[in-house]
Amino acid sequence: MSRQTIDDYLKDGRCRIIREQLGERDTQYVLTCAGAFVGSMTVTRMTNQRLCHAEKSLTCSRAFGRSVNGRGDARVRLVEHIRVNEVGRRRGIATKLYETAAKDACRAGEPLVSAYRVKDAHSNDFWAKQKRKGRATVVGVRHDAGAKIPVYALDCAKGTDLSGLGRMHKGEGRSKLDRAIVEATKRGYRVNAKGQVIGPTGNVRKCRVRATSKSRYAHCAFNLRVAGEVIPIPFARLAAYQKHGAKALQGGVVTRHRNDNALDNRPTNISIGTRRQNALDIPKKTRVARARHAAKKGRG
């Protein structure tokens, strides 16, 4: 299974997480795509006091006992193990496993605690990100060969949407542009069959041709004031959101023009996909010519 296949399965809803109870305390979460194993996580229920005395090298904060439901013997859920296939790395697989485990834990009033025994850069990056986002706090430190490994606990009061996609469905988006696109739709802006943007009063918004440093293509955009800031909204992005919903705003998803004309914003010409799929929309002759030009420029 390739990375592209996993991306396609995730978008098509062909991936699912199966819960397996392993005894009284352990729960295993297994994520499969089209029946094939992609990742798994094992979570153990225990009291915070047992966790803090599990190893001499582990030191818990004094507030940890009081911060969990106000009791010193409150239950928590410790991530004991997490495994993701190599092709599933950086595809949001681990985040989906964490989210499912976090929802179960918070529903039971038992906060999810990081896997302090797991020496994995990806796992550490995930928890560090949750702390930066204000969703997790450091509740302890494990000393390992001179290094200090933080132990984190998710704050159930901050919610269990660990990827940001849930907020996107509610209209908050990941970036200013995402939020502006959602806001424009709420206000009644729409893209008609001709690829024109129609305002709430029925007026046709002028196409302001723009070109960014990230793209060689000129594209149509219109300005919208959101929260006191004027944001240029590409016609194509608005059309993609109205056609495909929140999927159009997900990370790694780009807006595609099927005929490779970035000024043709008819909904029938707009689609979404990966950067590779977007590159394949360019005619083969053009792709070859650009590759040769780039190679010649590199040699010169």
Whether 34 and 146 map to the same domain: the answer is yes
Whether 195 and 131 map to the same domain: the answer is no
Output the pLDDT for position 130: 82
Q: How confident is the model at residue 298 (pLDDT cuts 50, 70, 90)?
A: low
Number of domains present in the structure of the chain: 2
Query: Residue 43 domain-assigned?
Result: yes
Span 71-85, pLDDT tens digits: 556 788 888 888 888
Query: Hey, CA dihedral for 78, 43, 86, 119, is it positive or negative?
Result: positive
141, 151 contact by CB (below 8 A)? yes
The residues, ordered by sequence, that sit 6+ positions from 11 with a Cβ below 8 Å of its Cβ are 247
Whether 151 and 169 map to the same domain: the answer is no
**What global pTM score does this model have?**
0.53
Query: Residue 255 domain-assigned?
Result: yes
Whether 13 and 64 map to the same domain: the answer is yes
Whether 13 and 74 map to the same domain: the answer is yes
Span 19-64, pLDDT tens digits: 999 888 899 999 998 888 999 999 998 887 777 776 677 777 766 6
CATH of the domain at 53: 3.40.630.30
Whether 205 and 86 map to the same domain: the answer is no
Span 169-182, pLDDT tens digits: 444 446 788 889 98
Residue 166, pLDDT > 80, answer no
Span 232-287, pLDDT tens digits: 999 999 999 999 888 888 877 889 998 888 899 999 999 998 877 777 767 676 66
CATH of the domain at 275: 3.90.75.20
Query: Residue 256 domain-assigned?
Result: yes
* Out of 59-68, 176-185, 195-204, 205-214, least confident range: 59-68
Output the pLDDT for position 170: 46
Among candidate residues 142, 158, 174, the one where a domain is terminated: 158
Enclosing domain of residue 265 = 165-295
The residues, ordered by sequence, that sit 6+ positions from 53 with a Cβ below 8 Å of its Cβ are none
Query: Residue 300 domain-assigned?
Result: no
Among candidate residues 126, 158, 190, the one where a domain is terminated: 158
Span 127-165, pLDDT tens digits: 888 888 788 888 888 777 777 888 888 887 766 566 544
Whether 58 and 79 map to the same domain: the answer is yes
Whether 177 and 216 map to the same domain: the answer is yes
Query: Residue 190 domain-assigned?
Result: yes
Whether 190 and 244 map to the same domain: the answer is yes
Whether 148 and 197 map to the same domain: the answer is no
